Amino acid sequence: MHLVAIGGVDAGISAALRARELDTAVEVTVMVADRYPNFSICGIPYYVSGEVARWQDLAHRTIADLEATGMRLRLDTAARGIDVAGHKLAVTDAAGREELIAYDALVVGTGVVPVRPPIEGLAGVDPLGPDDGVHLLHSMGDTFAVMRTLEASAAARAVIVGAGYIGLEMAEALVARGLAVTQIEQLPEVLPTVDPELGGLVHDQLVQHGVEVQLRTKVTGIMRAAADAPGRLEVRAESETGSRVFFADLVLVVVGVRPDAELAAAAGAELGAKGAIAVDRRMRTTLPDVLAAGDCVVTHHRLLGSTYLPLGTTAHKQGRVAGENAAGGQREFAGSLGTQVVKVFDMVAARTGLRDHEALAVGFKPVTVGHEADDHKAYYPGSHRITMRFTGDRHTGRLLGMQLFGHRHGEIAKRIDIGAAAIFHNMTVDQVSDLDLSYSPPLGSPWDAVQAGAQVWVREALAAG
């Protein structure tokens, strides 16, 4: 049996590893569009900041590690078309040579492409690009281009268009390199995946570290600045107060991604939410012997059903399921809760499950309650407050969502995992208090912070009727 996987990041490599793990007789070939298989794209900001000294260290596994599992890597090889009836994949290598690769099972893990918003200078007859200092950021190639701009031009000013996870992490990275950073967000608050109450706390953290934050502001154009301008690029924007101009040596445009589903769609695969490839819980597409996984496919969400929610953790899990089933298994993807966490300077924001408006949209009767508690006993030095928001169903008491904001040493990531595990197993908010969690004064409290928050939700939900 020959399994071919397209994509050398999370889903494709996970599929290949799982198939070889289950059956060493399975022949596995992975098509990698560049020369950087199994690299942590999530780690790019920490290489840019200098916290990760060598770009090679971003690799989860080296090429030698991967090949030692028995898989064959085809680097700099782009998939061009799928012959579904003939079970063949058309590919082109770096030299332009075309080839047809026969497969018994195919896993499509083509991932995403960055959204390129309609900004003058990003598209048209004379678009600006990396050599001009304007960057999208999604691949190792993009990363090297950013580093060339930083190192070759003695960049002093940066404008970041977008204030989602990558935008926030890159703001911190560029501040660490000594740049003056302006962050421009079209929406009313940064980090719009959490409630504004927590987004505002992230906003404050940016400002405290010198980032100029511009909200409700839409970038309309990027152009080369005049020779005497304080920066080689001019960024034009519109806000409620009128037109603005910002100068920069480097501009990052990180406003989101979209699924790269064109290869599968051209072969006749059905598409779903947001134009992602439709798959079932076993990661099967509507094409025979073609599976798909990762950021290019729809996501089974345990509370929302079929949606689109690209996350690295989800891609790893889906890829593992696809690889197992390609090798003859019957495993199902258990589903996502959209659990996410981001560090912004000294603070951390995290979420899992649903926010109030998301719960309403799928028929729950949500109640969201905020609370604050110490991350460990206040009498032990170094305690910090954790700001929490719990969302539960008014009628059943079921925990639907949790959001946290606190200090980087406050175990925010692990505490949001308590919420993720509770929601995964359909627990009520009240049952969170029953969990047997660890306690020591330097590390927590007899009632952990999230349990204290759960108890406040129960009291206020009962009081509200």
Q: Is 42 a catalytic residue?
A: yes
Pairing of strands 290-292, 98-102: unpaired
Spatial CB neighbours of 43, under 8 Å, sequence gap ≥ 6? 52, 58
Q: Locate 336 and state its tokens.
A: 């996502």
What's the gap between Cα 355 and its chain centre?
A: 18
Q: Are 231 and 127 in contact (CB under 8 A)?
A: no
- CA-to-CA dists, residue 440 to 13, 376, 386, angstroms: 40, 8, 17
Q: CB 258: neighbour CB atoms within 10 A?
A: 17
| CA quadruple 404, 405, 411, 417: dihedral, nearest 10 | 20
Q: Are 296 and 271 in contact (CB under 8 A)?
A: no
Alpha helices per DSSP H over 296-349: 312-326
Amino acid (one-letter) located at 268: G
Q: Are 391 and 378 in contact (CB under 8 A)?
A: no
List the one residue out of 138, 107, 137 whose CA is nearest residue 31: 107
Rounded (to 5) percent helix, strand, coil in the chain: 30, 30, 40
How far apart, in whole angstroms, are the C-alpha atoms of residue 21 and residue 70?
Answer: 10
Pairing of strands 233-239, 242-248: antiparallel
Question: Exposed, middle or buried by CB within 10 Å (0-12, 13-18, 19+), for 284?
Answer: middle
How far apart, in whole angstroms, are the C-alpha atoms of residue 126 and residue 286?
Answer: 40
Q: CB 442: neighbour CB atoms within 10 A?
A: 10
Q: CB 364: neighbour CB atoms within 10 A?
A: 21
The catalytic residue among 1, 22, 42, 187 is 42
Q: Locate 445 and state its tokens.
A: 């409290």
Amino acid (one-letter) located at 48: V
List the one residue out of 76, 24, 40 whose CA is nearest residue 316: 40
What's the half-sphere exposure (Cβ side, CA atoms, 13 Å) at 368? 19
How far apart, in whole angstroms, are the C-alpha atoms of residue 393 and residue 365?
Answer: 5
Q: Are 312 and 42 in contact (CB under 8 A)?
A: yes
Catalytic sites, residue numbers: 42
